[in-house]
């Protein structure tokens, strides 16, 4: 949360301008989404520590000189922070000023130093530490990192993650290429059946029907042959009524288009 943050309020950082609140909104959104995974287990103590530093960052934003009576600090940001803490870690105290949050961070830092027996710039296990140095001018926090230990750790990780090509990998790639080529050849040998469309007969036999029935021709496909069967449907059925209604609508539409065309001429 403190990446690129300027420790001097008179010299704002281009990575984190005082009026930019995207980190507050993004942090609250992430905690609302996955904060429940930090409420149990070994990581449940890390969330209160982070929220203490997060409140310090929030109040450093709110106390910036760019906010005044004309350009007020957005209320939604404070409401979002309070809702986030209430939802994920209700036991964390809400601070009401920048100085109060600074004192809370100092007390937390001293507590962690005593609890884990931390020495400045070094530790018992040899890993890099983040130490907090306080500026007497603006009570801001500067995070420093033991670069030498981190460089050694990165070099070890690079050695562990280095990929070594051996004979087993070559054999696997050869077998994979062979399997792919065999599958392609088998697909080429398969006979492709051409799709056959049903031919609609333009002329059909006339069938005598009653006045109460409507005659339809039903196309049936059996194997590769197409057969036509007559089908008598009562005139008062929904099928016949819908067809007649659709034909009438199409006829009226054609008449309308015809009339408009004649009027243009």
4 inside domain: no
Domain boundary among 120, 137, 155: 120
136 inside domain: no
252 inside domain: yes
164 inside domain: no
Angle of the 98-116 helix axis to the 46-62 helix axis, nearest 10: 150
Domain that holds residue 57: 21-120
152 inside domain: no
Q: What is the mean pLDDT of residues 36-52?
A: 83
- Interatomic CA distance for residues 21 and 7, integer angstroms: 17
**Sorting pLDDT into bands at 50, 70 and 90, what band is 187?**
confident
The torsion angles phi and psi of 84, rounded to 5 degrees, stand at -65, -45
78 inside domain: yes
pLDDT tens digits, one per residue of 91-114: 889 999 989 999 999 999 888 888
Nearest partner of 230 among 219, 242, 244, judged by Cα: 219
Q: Where are the beta strands (DSSP E) in 84-129?
A: none
Mean pLDDT lowest among 108-122, 148-162, 178-192, 201-215? 148-162
Is 250's pLDDT higher than 90? Answer: yes
115 inside domain: yes
149 inside domain: no
Count Cβ atoms within 10 A of the Cβ of residue 129 and give its class: 0-12 exposed, 13-18 middle, 19 or more buried: middle
Is 190's pLDDT higher than 80? Answer: no
Domain boundary among 67, 98, 120: 120
When divided into structural domains, the chain yields a total of 2
Count Cβ atoms within 10 A of the Cβ of residue 190 and give its class: 0-12 exposed, 13-18 middle, 19 or more buried: exposed
Domain boundary among 120, 137, 166: 120
Percent of the chain with pLDDT over 70: 72
Q: What is the pLDDT of residue 82?
A: 92
Is 264's pLDDT higher than 80? Answer: no
> Residue 256 corresponds to which tokens in the numbers above?
């309308």
pTM: 0.46
User: Which CATH number goes with the domain that contains 39?
Assistant: 1.25.40.180
């Amino acid at each position: 949360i403190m990446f690129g943050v300027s420790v001097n309020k008179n010299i704002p950082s281009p990575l984190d301008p005082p009026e930019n609140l995207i980190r507050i909104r993004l942090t609250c959104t992430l905690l609302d989404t996955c904060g429940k995974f930090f409420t149990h287990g070994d990581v449940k103590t890390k969330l209160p520590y982070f929220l203490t530093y997060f409140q310090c960052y929030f109040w450093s934003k709110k106390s910036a000189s760019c906010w005044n009576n004309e350009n007020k600090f957005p209320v939604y940001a404070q409401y979002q922070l309070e809702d986030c803490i209430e939802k994920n870690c209700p036991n964390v105290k809400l601070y009401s000023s920048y100085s109060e949050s600074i004192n809370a961070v100092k007390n937390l830092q001293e507590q962690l130093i005593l609890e884990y027996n931390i020495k400045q710039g070094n530790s018992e296990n040899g890993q890099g530490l983040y130490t907090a140095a306080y500026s007497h001018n603006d009570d801001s926090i500067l995070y420093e990192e033991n670069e030498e230990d981190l460089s050694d750790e990165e070099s070890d990780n690079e050695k562990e993650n280095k990929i070594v090509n051996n004979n087993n990998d070559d054999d696997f790639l050869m077998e994979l290429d062979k399997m792919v080529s065999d599958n392609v050849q088998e697909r080429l040998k398969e006979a492709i059946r051409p799709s056959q469309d049903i031919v609609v007969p333009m002329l059909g036999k006339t069938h005598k029907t009653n006045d109460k029935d409507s005659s339809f021709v039903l196309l049936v496909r059996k194997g590769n042959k197409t057969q036509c069967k007559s089908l008598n449907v009562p005139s008062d059925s929904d099928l016949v009524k819908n067809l007649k209604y659709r034909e009438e609508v199409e006829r009226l539409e054609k008449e309308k288009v015809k009339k408009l065309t004649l009027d243009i001429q």
